[in-house]
Structure 1
Amino acid sequence: MIEIRAATEQDVEVFYKLMLEEAEHHNALQHIHTSPSEIRRAGFGKDPRFGVLLAQFDGEPAGYISYTVNYSIWLGAEFMMIDDVFVTAKYRGRKIGEALMARARQVAQAAGHTRIRWGVESNNEGAIRFYQRLGASLHTKGLCTWEVGDDPGRH
């Protein structure tokens, strides 16, 4: 059975392991610069900077969505910005991604947001079909990053 719930501070280690699993899946472990203690501080303190929805299948960790809340000047409103959508290989094909996205939609609506935004790799055709099946629109736009901190190796 699928259960989707908001992560708590007690879930930090589980969430971090899922993050590492996702990064490994994308051959991107070198881009993980955070730690469980930073996740705990930034996500579960007095003023959380992000949210996490955890998926469990029969009580086992199966995936997550991480998100932030941003403000759109053009919309004149806050919106949910999804960072990651990930389902472990063991649980793919069991509608967990669908359940995670449905719960994200509920969270956004409950907060008064009228939009959810996220990125997808242009060559990830399976994910694009999945998101379009949910009713999402795909907008082609370049993504730029500009490293401005002291450590140019951080992304």
Structure 2
Amino acid sequence: MRVRRATAHDVVPLLALMRALAVFEGYDADFRVTASDLLARGLGGQAAPEFIALVAEDGHGSLCGHAVLLVTPFTYDLRPTVVLKELYVDVQHRRRGVAEGLLAAVQAEAQAIGAGRIRWLVLPGNGPAKRLYRRFGGAPDTAWESWERRLERPLQSSA
């Protein structure tokens, strides 16, 4: 197994892995990412890509897992925060060290830019992921709650 940064040549299999994650997490009906989007936003050789994608290859060169990273340039300590937006390993390749390899590569990317932390979300019932993240050195951030405001429609004025 080898982990590396994704390239434009990985768009089709990477998109398939992303779609599989959407099915696993239950948002496949809302999944809108296309191969063109991946190229336009990060894998098309941009000077400032909107995301970093890491991919794991099995012994035959096929993609078997991925991680998508977003970077917040700085926060209170003037250091970047790396947001692990997606981590997924194909079902047939689980429990073979693929996720650990991807997480090690995520940490290397974060350290390379001087990040102060890596953040991610995990589904409440995903015990195997929680155990993996604890082995990786992660822990729940109990000081904060995750909030969001969906913007399907323009925000209505209350005036």
Report the CA distance between 1:144 and its aligned residue: 1.9
> What is the root-mean-square deviation in Å for CA atoms of aligned residues?
1.8
Report the CA distance between 1:150 and its aligned residue: 4.9
Q: Which amino acid in the other structure matches residue 40 of structure 1?
A: L
Report the CA distance between 1:149 and its aligned residue: 5.3
* Aligned-partner Cα distance in 1 for 2:153–2:38: 21
Unaligned segments of structure 2, at least 5 residues: none
2:30 is matched with: 31
- Runs of 4+ with >4 A deviation: 149-152
* Aligned-partner Cα distance in 2 for 1:35–1:72: 29
1:8-36 deviation digits (Å, cap 9, x = unpaired): 11111111111111112223211211211
Distance 1:102 1:109, change over 3 A: same
SS in 2 for 1:77: coil
2:115 is matched with: 113
Deviates more, 1:119-128 or 1:71-80: 71-80
1:124 is matched with: 126
User: Larger Rg: 1 or 2?
Assistant: 2
* Aligned-partner Cα distance in 1 for 2:154–2:39: 22
Unaligned segments of structure 1, at least 5 residues: none
1:80 matched to 2:82: yes
Count of aligned pairs between the two proteins: 151
1:1-155 alignment, distance < 5 Å: 2-45=1-44, 46=46, 47-58=48-59, 59-140=61-142, 141-148=144-151, 150=153
Report the CA distance between 1:151 and its aligned residue: 8.0
1:18-66 deviation digits (Å, cap 9, x = unpaired): 1111112223211211211011101124221000000011112110000
TM-score by length of 1: 0.89
SS in 2 for 1:53: strand
Deviates more, 1:49-58 or 1:70-79: 70-79
